[in-house]
Chain A
Amino acid sequence: MNPTFRKWILLGVIIIAVIVPLVVTNKYYMNILIMSGIWSIVALSLNLILGYTGQVNLAHGAFFGIGAYASALMMLKLHMNFWLALPLASATAGFFGFLIGLPALRTRGSYFAIGTLCFNIIVTLIVDRFEGLTEGARGLMGIPGPGPIPLPWVGKIEFNTQLAQYYLILAFLLLTIFILRRIIQSLVGRSFRAIRGNEELAEAVGIQAMEVKLLSFTISCFFAGLGGVLYASYIGFLSPELTDYHVSFDALIYIMIGGVGTMVGPIIGTLLIVTLPETLHIAAEYRLLFYGLILIAMIIYLPRGIMGALKDLRGRKRKQEVLWKQS
């Protein structure tokens, strides 16, 4: 696909996303779309460290939770404004990512996966037991939503309707995509991919692997935290389960189905997995079964996810064309 065609598709998708609420007026479906938007941000951020840098991070639930809890506590206990808590809480998640990355990123492959998984469990335990601060299993209630933004002349933008929430999440999703795209397409992103490809060779061509991995991990955790902040203020309630490793694995499933290491994959995966069971009215108890079946089928038939399979298809076509020309 040439770049201009790609740009038109992108523009088309954005327009569709903007006019969707005109078609879908059902509150239930709008809720699903908003949740898909939040989880897309989380999946996209996981994809940066996992898909593009090749480090299987299983602590994403923890960083999502740190962002969510940090913003909730900032707003509830420090009476901070949402618009101030949002960057601060995301940065808190990024900072924790940096701290955990320092020791964890020294390990490679499955050791990193195990290390981060352990960290996730520790975070959930702390949130669960530190009742003085987090209210433990009772959860944090009454988390305020985003306050109105005053605008000169027009008045102000308020976020107390579901429609406004939808556009708020959509705006942050687009911002996330925009920033991650810029990073991935730059030389910085190329050095991420170099480490995914061959860490030893990356160091041999002068790339400081540890520094690069730490950068990728910190950015990734920042955006996981952002997802958490948006979730907390949209739902208004937090409990320790929202920090646990199920969240990590959900995000992992989304990007595996959409396509690891592709820009669009995580969003497609999230949309499919969040909306399909809901719209097909699969009962909650069968949902895990449904995930499991889809995952097994994907790993056997489309190991590189939906977007990966499309890429392979194009690659094969190109190769056939080359062979055709040669004969």
Chain B
Amino acid sequence: MEAILNIQELTRFFGGLAAVNNLSFEVHPEEILSLIGPNGAGKTTVFNLITGTLLPTRGKVLFQDHDITGTRPYETTALGVARTFQTTSLFYDETVLDNLIVAYRCRTRMGFFDALFQTSRCRDDERRSRQKAEEMLEFIGLSEQAKELALNIPQESQKRLAVGLALATEPKLLLLDEPMGGLTEEENIGMMVLIGKVRTRGISILLIEHKMKVVMNISDRIVVLNYGQKIAEGSPQDVSTNSAVIEAYLGT
């Protein structure tokens, strides 16, 4: 099977410390791959290297066979890689609907002069953005809260909205950084259902998550990081019985 994302010998140093060290793995089409590891293992750094927020010291990131190493974050998104952030990032002083409308901006072409003269491209883009936003509202289940400020909706809704923002950019690969952080047991299930629904749209998912129950349940495969290095890779069963993984998590 051809990989949608191919990470090759990715390395990033912060001073003398290797946050990510010689890491290679692949994400397959329509796969849910989880990236796990103890705090400080370098998981979020991997996300930042893929999206171009950080430049790697060494190594390559291939997306659909194109080298995207070091492309700027907005370019990476335009190519079809979307992400969410560990701290729920939203446009907090905008309504839920407005959040989703602006997230579709990278798929619209209208510019300053289109706005000034209200060209047909302007009207067309506005209409498509609104359509996309309504569709996403439905998809993430926030239609009821469309007119509320993102600031005022419950945490679970905010987490869903963050996923919705990433999805509105029409990605082929979605990077989720702890989408269930701070959610209750019951809310976890809701989020798992949502992530499953995303996959059925043909979107591959790379997931960072600390909740083992969720990870074991939802992942097709798991990559385990410790001190920036890959210490295990495989199916949930393989990984959960791997002695190196148990050692990293429980200590010796």
Contacts and interface: CB of A to CB of B under 8 A. Distances in A.
Contact of B122 (A186, A193, A219, A315): A186
Nearest to B147: A318
B93 A197 contact: yes
A214 to B, nearest CB: 11
A204 B82 contact: yes
Interface string B81-114: 0110100011111100010011101111011101
B122 A206 contact: no
Nearest to A219: B112
Contacts, number: 98
A202 B102 CA distance: 9
A200 interface: yes
B121 to A, nearest CB: 11
Interface residues of B, number: 41
Nearest to A179: B116
- Which of B111, B115, B125 counts the most chain A CB atoms within 10 A? B115
Nearest to A188: B115
Given A187-B129, A219-B112, A200 B74 contact: no
Contact of A198 (B74, B91, B107, B125): B91
Nearest to A208: B74
Contacts of B78: 206
A243 B113 CA distance: 29
Nearest to B83: A204
With a 10 A CB-CB cut-off, give which of A188, A191, A209 has the most chain B CB atoms: A188
A176 to B, nearest CB: 12
B91 A201 contact: yes
B176 interface: no
Interface residues of A, number: 27
A265 B15 CA distance: 48
Interface string A176-201: 00010011001111110110011011
Q: Residue among B73, B82, B101 with the most chain A CB within 10 A?
A: B73
Nearest to B51: A204
Contacts of B112: 183, 188, 215, 219
Nearest to A184: B115
B166 interface: yes
Contact of B77 (A189, A206, A219): A206
A207 B74 CA distance: 6
Given A187-B115, A200-B89, A205 B103 contact: yes
Interface string B159-201: 0000001101100000000000000000000000000000000
A204 B89 contact: yes
Given A197-B92, A206-B78, A183 B116 contact: yes
A205 B94 contact: no
Nearest to A205: B103
Nearest to A194: B102
A215 B105 CA distance: 15
A187 B110 contact: yes
B116 A206 contact: no
A247 B46 CA distance: 47
Contacts of A200: 53, 85, 89
Contacts of B114: 186, 188
19 contacts: A179-B116, A183-B115, A187-B101, A187-B110, A187-B122, A188-B115, A193-B94, A194-B102, A197-B91, A197-B94, A198-B89, A200-B85, A204-B51, A204-B85, A204-B166, A205-B77, A205-B169, A206-B106, A207-B102
Given A197-B93, A206-B106, A208-B72, 14 more contacts: A179-B116, A189-B115, A190-B101, A190-B102, A194-B105, A198-B91, A201-B165, A203-B77, A204-B51, A205-B166, A206-B74, A206-B107, A208-B74, A219-B112
Interface of B: 51, 53, 72-74, 77-78, 82-83, 85, 89-94, 98, 101-103, 105-108, 110-112, 114-116, 118, 122, 125-126, 129, 149, 152, 165-166, 168-169
Interface of A: 179, 182-183, 186-191, 193-194, 197-198, 200-209, 215, 219, 315, 319
